[in-house]
Amino acid sequence: MPARSIASLSLSFGLVSIPVKLYSATESSATVRFNLLTPDGSRVKQQYVSEKDPSVVVPRSEMVKGYEFEKDRYVLFSAEELKALEESASHTIDIVAFIPEKAVDPIYYDKAYFMAPDKRGGKPYTLLMAAMRKSGQCALAKWAWKGKQYVVQIRAAEDGLVLQQLLYADEVRSMKELQIEQITPSEAEVNLALQLIEQISQDSYDPRQFVDEEKQRVLAAIDAKIAGKQVVAVEHHEEAPAGGQIIDLTEMLRASLAKSGAGAARRPAREPAGEVVTPLVANERKGAKRAPRTAAAAPAPAKARSRK
């Protein structure tokens, strides 16, 4: 099925205006959704009731919106008042600056869109993409969409331009709130960690390496139910928390190197004479599951499966 654009826009910088079309870059199909039913299999319907009188069902047409400025005190807004406060939709994405490509921390990334040239936009679109690639720059722009104003990043990907909605500063929390203790590792520990990093390093990220194993289990169980088979529960083993176990970080790194085969190939860095390695508290975690490099496991048959 061919991709369908969600908007026809103009990308503007200086006196240049590029007609473009916008497409969703992602789809929220990763989660298997279940319907809420009664024990006899009928769907249930959600209703809103009054907090003061739960027996009174409030229709959507009679609801009003209010902002709680104090406990149980609200200031009310009509639909017309809220509409007047919305940002007017704009069909123009205004570039306000060019910055280094890696200048935006990915923590500010929100939803991504693909941007393709519209009619008569092919040449300026390609020119802008080539210039950004050669300069190593990306664009910052403003865009009003569906009643809200966004700051967006426009960057040159392998096959075209990507528009990335960015979060505002007050939407991202600071790690300073966590008050993380800063501990200086020894040179020996850093050298061992570098050897371990080198041992399992890859040149690039291939998303096809990883599969959603939990989703595959759920889909397989759905197909088993459709076929009238009994779903067999998988036994899960919970990892016990470390509980303050004291370990030697250097020995743990050496064991990791030996397990990955680095111990036989390389001699681990020696600790300087008389250096004391500070014991740390262990906090083991399971690594991410990877798909086999040859071919990813095929999902369960989906002919009879409903995707609602």
Mean pLDDT of 231-254: 66
Q: What is the pLDDT of residue 272?
A: 42
Residue 267 has pLDDT above 70, yes or no: no
pLDDT digit string, tens, across residues 91-137: 889 999 999 999 999 999 999 999 999 988 999 999 999 999 999 99
Pairing of strands 246-247, 161-166: unpaired
The token pair at 48 is 């809103």
Residue 264 has pLDDT above 50, yes or no: no
CA 232, CA 224: separation in Å to the nearest integer? 10
- Residue ranges of alpha helices (H) inside 62-112 are 79-85
The token pair at 279 is 């014991």
Q: What is the pLDDT of residue 106?
A: 94
Pairing of strands 73-77, 16-24: unpaired
Closest CA to 164 of 210, 119, 86, 99: 99
Closest CA to 299 of 214, 220, 225: 220
CA 160, CA 125: separation in Å to the nearest integer? 9
Local confidence band at 72 (pLDDT 50, 70, 90 cut-offs): confident
pLDDT digit string, tens, across residues 159-202: 999 999 999 999 999 999 999 999 898 998 899 889 888 888 88
How far from 70 is each of 56, 57, 74, 107, 285, CA to CA, in Å?
Answer: 25, 26, 7, 32, 43
How far from 98 is each of 15, 123, 308, CA to CA, in Å?
Answer: 16, 20, 43
Mean pLDDT of 285-294: 50
Write out the E strands in the chain.
7-13, 16-24, 65-70, 73-77, 92-100, 109-117, 137-145, 148-156, 161-166, 246-247, 280-281
72, burial (CB in 10 Å: exposed 0-12, middle 13-18, buried 19+): exposed
Q: What structural domains does the chain harbor? A: 7-28+86-171 (2.40.290.10), 181-199+206-234+245-308 (no CATH)
The token pair at 33 is 């959704």
The token pair at 194 is 């570098």
pLDDT digit string, tens, across residues 269-279: 444 444 434 44
224 vs 237, residue with greater confidence: 224
Q: Are 270 and 253 in contact (CB under 8 A)?
A: no
Angle at alpha carbon of residue 203, lines to 198 and 209, rounded to 5°: 105
- How crowded is residue 117: how many other Cβ atoms within 10 Å of its Cβ? 20
Neighbouring-strand partners of residue 23 = 114
Write down the pTM of the prediction. 0.65
Pairing of strands 148-156, 137-145: antiparallel
pLDDT digit string, tens, across residues 130-157: 999 999 999 999 998 887 899 999 999 9
The token pair at 175 is 């790690």
Q: What is the pLDDT of residue 245?
A: 57
Q: Are 153 and 110 in contact (CB under 8 A)?
A: no
The token pair at 270 is 């020696």
